[in-house]
Amino acid sequence: MSRPAVTTELATAIIAGGLAFEREVSLRSGRRIADALRHAGYLAPVLDTDAALIDRLIEARLDAVFIALHGETGEDGSLRSVLDLLDVPYVGAGAQSCRVAWDKPNAKAAVRAAGMRTPDWVALPESTFRELGAQLVLGRIVARLGLPLMVKPAQGGSALGAQRVDSVEDLPAAMVGCFAYGGTALIEQYVDGVELAISVLDRADRPQALPAVEIEPASGVFDYAARYTAGMTTYHTPARLSPDTLTRAAHLAERAHQILGLRDLSRTDAIITPDGEAHFLEVNVSPGMTETSLFPMAVAAAGLDLGGTCVSLLRRAAERSAGAG
């Protein structure tokens, strides 16, 4: 099968790598996007976030860039603020929306205020944990939220530092492990059910959810190893749920995308309880694009081509910038 001829119609690049804990995953995402674009006829270099990045972006005069940078710089709005200053169009949500979505407690508060379900939670900074008496504070948390609990960094991705806690004795160690990846812990009620990842793409008139991916980790917990080690998790696309339940899940992801002011693409993680209700967990503004990532699975399940989808997103970003100018 012959590949399409390379075109210069769209000058683009991919930003990946960085210094966050998710550097290797980001580089894998960047290479996957570059391969997909190459198959669609576009050459896009993968640019690391080093001291030369700004000069390279200025010199390249790109139509748009694809952000495959996971973790703090790529998802908290800081990189996007710099791109805005440089007048470099990019795929994805703007800086201010990213700041809210990146912080899990803030994102949960926003969707709850809009009437969506999300597990009850407490956000606890490390300083509070250590200064006010860890045992007393943790005891109060268990009294309020019950067991089991899910402990994870309030900011971060790839389930780094995340751990299920089934007994009060295990909670202090889970908190310490969480603080290794962030200064604030999100302690959340563990909701039993089917875990879904619902990707969303902006269409001409509204955001549209792609087929949900059902996640079935062999260990029972979708942690870092389960996400990025082939064979440790079984994925079902479409998910093995009723049409009505999947419709509710799609609506949840589309509403979260809108409420949080996101654009172009996002991925919402949710739990479907046995009664069929969808509960929002978190949202990702820069979904993984690796060989085991969920967004590409949803794209394929929708009958779309990953390269063509990325090209469409880049064109949308370029046209948005041209319209603003």
List, by residue number, the catalytic residues: 22, 158, 228, 267, 269, 282, 284, 288
The beta-strand segments (E) located in the chain are 12-16, 46-48, 64-67, 121-125, 149-153, 163-165, 184-189, 194-202, 207-209, 213-217, 233-236, 265-272, 278-284
Give me 31's structure tokens. Answer: 């290479």
Distance CA 17, CA 30 (A): 8
Give me 198's structure tokens. Answer: 């619902």
Alpha-helical (H) ranges within 21-103 are: 23-39, 53-60, 72-75, 78-86, 95-102
Q: Which of 255, 252, 263, 229 is nearest to 92 (CA)?
A: 263
Distance CA 23, CA 193 (A): 31
